[in-house]
Amino acid sequence: MSDRRTIRDVDVKGKRVLVRVDFNVPLDRGKVADDTRIRAALPTIQYLMEQGARVILMSHLGRPKGKVQKELRLTPVAERLSGLLERSVAMAVDCVGAEVETAVDRLRPGDVLLLGNLRFHPGEEANDPEFVSRLASLGEVYVNDAFGTAHRAHASTEGVAHHLPAVAGFLMEKELNFLSKALESPEHPFVAILGGAKISDKIGVVDNLLGKVDALLIGGGMANTFLKAQGHQVGQSLVEEESLPLARELLDRAGRKLILPMDVAVADRFDAEAQSKIVSVEEVPAEWRILDIGPVTVEHFAQELYMAKTVVWNGTMGVAEFPRFAAGTQAIIEMLAESQATTIVGGGETAAAVQQVGLVEKMTHVSTGGGASLELLEGKVLPGVAALADR
């Protein structure tokens, strides 16, 4: 990542700096329910303010599909950001148009303006050239600090970067440094933990990581498909039948590197209050389903994690939103919190689980991007990163 230019490499004094941030945060009754993503962007925003830039922030919120939806306006975000910065953040009526241009013209050095929801316009997700040039005309420098959307080639994440000097913000730099270093020059033993529901979402990740890691620990729903591929009966568990041949191929290729659950928590139905018990993977009852890894598996995973110098984790070990089936995920979190290794947690549900337990500070890095961190782990080039200037 060090080959990408950052905000340290450009003179922003007095300039209109158009910053793509990821303020796609949960709202509850018109207030921000979790401000993690807003806080993550503060170092970049504060640096630009201190340098005397005129800061124009742009973000999407939710999935309005190109139409204005009142409940997805960014006004509550502007309020929360004002509180965090301890100064007033102006809220624009839209993200393009004459009124927005007037609001931008009024900005003084150090001022901050938040544009309206980008996705109220179909041109954002379509990366429409006309919408791109209207957005780009608002700024003189472009900064991408939205790692969480860097895997999307949208107007604000990719298009604008071709019209203005384009550099990375501090959050983007940090995300790429941690994830790229883990993949390019990890300290060994290097252990990856993969979970989540589907194997199809992570085939590319498994494929890319097999050549790099010393051990690959598999939990979550995706483990069921591997277990079935090994010939185990998995009852009513979630299995991707179409991925079975691929799972067999990966198992053959991985040899002893790929480590699957030995025991599991099973339930008589998919429900937080379901009857549950721990069984060996050989003994899953026909009418039951696997919803978590078991204690023997946790111990087995612990042996690998205990020796690890680098750990990358993406995907929960079970149905972590049901407290009864969160034990496996919880155990991994606690192990990593005590580990001396470099611990990198992929975004999405995994980051949320760590957040919930209050152990974010104990990890080396918790990513703000679910899909983006997955695509990096897969070895893909992210459009929002590729569009930024090299040093």
Picking from 148, 171, 194, the residue at the C-terminal end of a domain is: 171
Q: What is the pLDDT of residue 99?
A: 97
Catalytic residue among 257, 371, 379, 380: 371
- Residue 391 inside a domain? The answer is no
Q: Are residues 153 and 255 in the same domain?
A: no
Task: Inform me whether the pLDDT recorded for 286 exceeds 90.
Answer: yes
Report pLDDT digits (tens) over 219-259.
999 999 999 999 999 999 999 999 999 999 999 999 999 99
Provide the angle, in degrees to the nearest 10, between the axes of the packed helices 244-254 and 220-229: 80
Annotated active-site residue 371? The verdict is yes
Phi and psi at residue 390, in whole multiples of 5°?
Answer: -75, 160
CB-based contact 275:267 (threshold 8 Å) = yes
Task: Inform me whether the pLDDT recorded for 180 exceeds 80.
Answer: yes
Q: Are residues 78 and 226 in the same domain?
A: no
Task: Inform me whether the pLDDT recorded for 82 exceeds 90.
Answer: yes
pLDDT band per the 50, 70, 90 thresholds, residue 181: confident
Catalytic residue among 116, 195, 318, 348: 348
User: Cα separation of 202 and 313, whole Å?
Assistant: 12
Q: What is the pLDDT of residue 2?
A: 53
Annotated active-site residue 80? The verdict is no
Domain of residue 82, CATH code: 3.40.50.1260
The residue among 156, 163, 194, 122 whose CA lies nearest residue 344 is 194
Contacts of 94 (CB under 8 A, 6+ apart): 100, 115, 116, 120
Q: What is the pLDDT of residue 17?
A: 98
Q: Are residues 45 and 136 in the same domain?
A: yes
User: Cα separation of 23 and 19, whole Å?
Assistant: 12
Picking from 130, 154, 171, the residue at the C-terminal end of a domain is: 171
User: Cα separation of 344 and 342, whole Å?
Assistant: 7
Report pLDDT digits (tens) over 94-136.
999 999 999 999 999 999 999 999 999 999 999 999 999 999 9
- Residue 387 inside a domain? The answer is no
Task: Inform me whether the pLDDT recorded for 271 exceeds 80.
Answer: yes
Q: Are residues 104 and 215 in the same domain?
A: no
User: Cα separation of 315 and 202, whole Å?
Assistant: 10
Q: Are residues 33 and 166 in the same domain?
A: yes
- Residue 389 inside a domain? The answer is no
CB-based contact 314:299 (threshold 8 Å) = no
- Residue 90 inside a domain? The answer is yes
Picking from 171, 196, 226, the residue at the C-terminal end of a domain is: 171
- Residue 385 inside a domain? The answer is no
User: Cα separation of 344 and 178, whole Å?
Assistant: 7
Task: Inform me whether the pLDDT recorded for 1 exceeds 70.
Answer: no
Q: Are residues 233 and 87 in the same domain?
A: no
Catalytic residue among 52, 110, 181, 198: 198
Q: What is the pLDDT of residue 369?
A: 85
Report pLDDT digits (tens) over 370-385.
888 888 888 888 999 9
- Residue 199 inside a domain? The answer is yes
Catalytic residue among 37, 73, 119, 289: 37
Q: Are residues 251 and 362 in the same domain?
A: yes
Kindly report the three-state secondary structure assignment for every residue of the chain.
CCCECEHHHCCCCCCEEEEECCCCCCEECCEECCCHHHHHHHHHHHHHHHCCCEEEEECCCCCCCCCCCHHHCCHHHHHHHHHHHCCCCEECCCCCCHHHHHHHHHCCCCCEEECCCHHHCHHHHHCCHHHHHHHHCCCCEEEECCHHHCCCCCHHHHHHHHCCCEEECHHHHHHHHHHHHHHHCCCCCEEEEECCCCCCCCHHHHHHHHCCCCEEEECHHHHHHHHHHCCCCCCCCCCCHHHHHHHHHHHHHHHHHEECCCEEEEECCCCCCCCEEEEEHHHCCCCCEEEEECHHHHHHHHHHHHHCCEEEEECCCCCCCCHHHCHHHHHHHHHHHHCCCEEEECCCHHHHHHHHHCCHHHCCEECCCHHHHHHHHCCCCCHHHHCCCEC
Q: Please state the rounded mean pLDDT for residues 136-153.
A: 96
Say how many C-beta atoms besides its own lie within 10 A of residue 106's C-beta.
11
Q: Please state the rounded mean pLDDT for residues 52-80.
A: 97
User: Cα separation of 387 and 166, whole Å?
Assistant: 8
Q: What is the mean pLDDT of the chain?
A: 95
Q: Are residues 184 and 167 in the same domain?
A: no
Q: Please state the rounded mean pLDDT for residues 312-341.
A: 96
The residue among 61, 64, 65 whose CA lies nearest residue 26 is 61
Classify the C-alpha dihedral 65-67-73-77 as positive or negative: positive
Domain containing residue 136: 7-171
Q: Are residues 183 and 166 in the same domain?
A: no
Task: Inform me whether the pLDDT recorded for 209 exceeds 90.
Answer: yes
Q: Are residues 92 and 116 in the same domain?
A: yes
Q: Are residues 187 and 50 in the same domain?
A: no
Contacts of 144 (CB under 8 A, 6+ apart): 19, 20, 150, 157, 161, 166, 167, 168, 169, 172, 384, 385, 387, 388
Q: Are residues 211 and 357 in the same domain?
A: yes
- Residue 236 inside a domain? The answer is yes
- What is the number of domains present in the chain? 2
User: Cα separation of 220 and 291, whole Å?
Assistant: 7
- Residue 384 inside a domain? The answer is no
To 5 degrees, how large is the angle CA 12–CA 58–CA 15? 15
Q: What is the pLDDT of residue 310?
A: 96
Q: How many residues does the chain have?
A: 391
Q: What is the pLDDT of residue 199?
A: 80
